[in-house]
Amino acid sequence: MGDIDPAFIQSTEHRPKAKVVEVCEIPVIDLSEGRKELLISQIGKACEEWGFFQVINHGVPFEISREVEIEAKKFFEMSLEEKKKLKRDEFNAMGYHDGEHTKNVRDWKEVFDYLVENTAEVPSSHEPNDMDLRILTNQWPQNSPRFRETLQEYAREVEKLAYKLLELISLSLGLDAEKFHGCFMNQLSMVRLNYYPTCPFPDLALGVGRHKDSSALTVLAQDDVGGLQVKRKSDGEWIPVKPTPNAFIINVGDIVQVWSNDKYESVEHRVVVNTERERFSIPFFFSPAHYVIVKPAEELVNEQNPARYREYNYGKFFANRNRSDFKKRDVENIQIYHFRILD
């Protein structure tokens, strides 16, 4: 990862030290349980109280999860020269990224991103009147066919789980199970391989700084090292999520927050670094197509509970976030609260 910039050290010296609670309370939900009504109730409660939960007996074969972890390790062990052949840029956000272009220099990691669908269309810019589209496409190592096959198989399996979870969340809101399925035709969903090297300066860096996910849902696999922390809604404390063997960690994203009209909240989370062990994690970001208009579900809006968000186009939202990352604009990334309707 290279040396830490002295200016960065100076900028983080006075960063508030948030208290971290040492007990994991994130709900663990068994998807194999027979009573669907109970499962829907558990999912709804977890979404409302935490915005995060873990799932076990989820149907994703352990073998494919293990294989993708092995392939990820092989990839990040490649020379930097080889990895940079797959480097992403402002025109194609898929591929390898080592943090060189990011504004948030606290992020102590390397990543590799790929689409669930091999290509996807996105707006060429976030400007409202710009109707041009450009193509995102996956980049794969030339001499690693097993890498590509394994990652694509993993994406298909986790996508099935994401649809199942979306159905349960929809039912927990009193909506039809397949209410939002149509939004994911030509989806922008992607998988990210995260590699967090050991860090000699744990007080000066984070694996990933505090943030919320702009997707509908995130399905995260993590190894046994841990490091993910969730900001508890009730008191703002940071809660470490203890790794559960063969479990996925699920969190509500910004889109579900808007669809639910704030009943469910996209919650802040972060990743802390480790001084002794490297860490791998694999998030799946379940995101709709570029043409989808995100707005509160009409069934949840009435005179007593008016819409709390103006509608927005997901593709334009995506283009704005992508442009912010690579243009290093000195403005805040667009967030869903920019579309909030004031009370």
Q: Number of helices and strands (H, E) in the chain?
A: 7, 16
User: Does residue 4 sit within a domain?
Assistant: no
Residues of the chain above pLDDT 90, percent = 63
User: Does residue 292 sit within a domain?
Assistant: yes
What pLDDT was estimated at residue 101? 41
- 182 sits in which H/E element: none
Long-range own/partner contacts, residues 37-44 (CB < 8 A, 24 or more apart): 39/168, 40/168, 40/171, 40/172, 41/172, 43/165, 43/168, 43/169, 43/172, 44/169, 44/172, 44/173
Q: Is the pLDDT of residue 110 over 50?
A: yes
What pLDDT was estimated at residue 175? 98
Q: Is the pLDDT of residue 15 over 70?
A: no
Domain total in the chain = 1
What pLDDT was estimated at residue 106? 56
User: Does residue 187 sit within a domain?
Assistant: yes
Q: Give the model's confidence band at 19: pLDDT under 50 very low, under 70 low, under 90 confident, else very high.
A: low
User: Does residue 9 sit within a domain?
Assistant: no
Q: Give the model's confidence band at 12: pLDDT under 50 very low, under 70 low, under 90 confident, else very high.
A: very low
Q: Is the pLDDT of residue 327 over 70?
A: no
Mean pLDDT confidence for 78-103: 83
Q: Give the model's confidence band at 331: pLDDT under 50 very low, under 70 low, under 90 confident, else very high.
A: very low
Ramachandran category for residue 246: left, alpha or beta (phi over 0 → left; psi -120 to 50 → alpha): left
User: According to the per-residue pLDDT averaged within each range, which of 119-128, 131-140, 181-190 is highest?
Assistant: 181-190
User: Does residue 331 sit within a domain?
Assistant: yes
Q: Which of 40-54, 133-147, 205-219 has the lowest mean pLDDT?
A: 205-219
Mean pLDDT of the chain: 86
User: According to the per-residue pLDDT averaged within each range, which of 15-29, 202-216, 256-270 is highest?
Assistant: 256-270
User: Does residue 308 sit within a domain?
Assistant: yes
Q: Is the pLDDT of residue 17 over 90?
A: no
Q: Is the pLDDT of residue 141 over 90?
A: yes
CATH of the domain at 315: 2.60.120.330
Q: How far is CA 32 from CA 57, 286, 290, in A?
A: 6, 22, 34
User: Does residue 90 sit within a domain?
Assistant: yes
Q: Give the model's confidence band at 332: pLDDT under 50 very low, under 70 low, under 90 confident, else very high.
A: low
Mean pLDDT confidence for 283-290: 97
Q: Using CA atoms, how far apart are residues 337 and 219, in angstroms rounded to an integer? A: 23
Residues 1-11 have pLDDT tens digits of 544 444 444 44
Residue range(s) defining the domain that contains residue 226:
17-339
What pLDDT was estimated at residue 2? 47
User: Does residue 1 sit within a domain?
Assistant: no
